[in-house]
Amino acid sequence: MGVFADIEKRDHEQVVFCSDKESGLRAIISIHDTTLGPSLGGCRMWNYASEEEALRDVLRLSRGMTYKASIAGLNLGGGKAVIIGNSKTDKNELLFRSYGRFIEGLGGRYITAEDVGTSVKDMEWVRMETKYVTGIAQAHGGSGDPSPVTGLGVFTGMKACAKRVYGSDSLSGKQVSVQGLGHVGHNLVERLVKDGAEVYVTDIDDEKISAVVDEFGVEAVSTEEIYGLDVDIFSPCALGAIINDDTIPQLKCDIVAGGANNQLEDESKHGHVLKDNGILYAPDYAINAGGLINVSNELEGYNRERALRQAEGIYDILMDIFDRAEQEDIPTHYASNRVAEDRINNIGRIKNIYVGHQTTVNLDNRR
């Protein structure tokens, strides 16, 4: 499939390819939909195997951000960026300032933030070149690392899933497997342990596994074992497309609820398979919306309590999605898409209303 065909397939508005020889920057910025407002989404730095893989990833991720912003009730559109490179060896000030110049050139159509492979420090370099950046340090008026709020949202959403399946939202005594121990996974494990859950963990980084096991006393398993564990809840918190033809037959859980984006390799197929297998799926962009909620609060002046309260609202968002899925007898991700699309379409119609010259009538002086 050609580049334009791939873009048109998912109804993207704009894709920007960024290249700077001096800094070594190779990046792609994808703006999916700005009906609800300017697009906002993180910048992922990853050592992609090919440019085509990077393009596919950014297109999927930006589309997911459109739905995430809509389902969370935010006046934002969906966007995302990827920088091709090794986040452990290729980072420098020049790279991110160059990236910031490309962001500035979009004039506010895309607002960037940190993501996998990028950090608050990286966003501060970006901020030297553009104001269209969130997720910066609190010392500069930002909110800092959004991961704890993402973790809170995933934890809260997991409790909603438990309420739906088991009749109680307590996770005490529940067996939960967590795949991926980045900032979000680490925060989620901490919350699960405090709530009394029995937790199993894995990651491709042995150092992260050791740190979490030492800190929380959870049990580590291999990356291959994680899918076949006999647990109540499987929580994917790494990269996407891990719910697929190979992994679904291994699952022995009642619930899939995690912080990773684009968990279903094939949306048209694998959501149906989970439903047919009696596994409740928490749509990824709904349950992991806490990070977006957090950084979006920076646009109006950051208020931590407000951000946390909004993230806790993911509980009710998921319950509404589950209700619609049951009423229409459809997979939960289809129900979630319909809720998000309804809001986008309704707001889009309102924005088509022409606001021209108006006559103001003073009701107190009417005769």
pTM of the model: 0.86
Report d(CA 222, CA 239) in Å as an integer. 16
For 147-344, which CATH class? alpha beta
Q: Is 163 a catalytic residue?
A: no
Inter-residue contact 24 to 37 (CB < 8 Å): no
Please tell me which residue in 9, 21, 68, 80 is annotated as part of the active site: 80
For 3-140, which CATH class? alpha beta
Task: Divide the 367 residues of the chain into consecutive groups of 10 and give the mean pLDDT of each group.
Answer: 66 95 97 97 96 94 95 96 96 97 98 92 95 83 83 98 98 98 96 98 96 98 97 94 96 97 92 97 97 89 90 97 98 97 92 59 47
Per-domain residue ranges for the chain? 3-140, 147-344
Q: What angle do CA 233, 46, 247 make, to 5 degrees?
A: 30
Same fold: 3-140 with 147-344 = yes
DSSP 292-324: HHHHHGGGG---HHHHHHHHHTHHHHHHHHHHH
Helices 51-71 and 332-351 meet at what angle, rounded to 10? 70
**Confidence at residue 112, expressed as pLDDT on a 0 to 100 scale:** 97
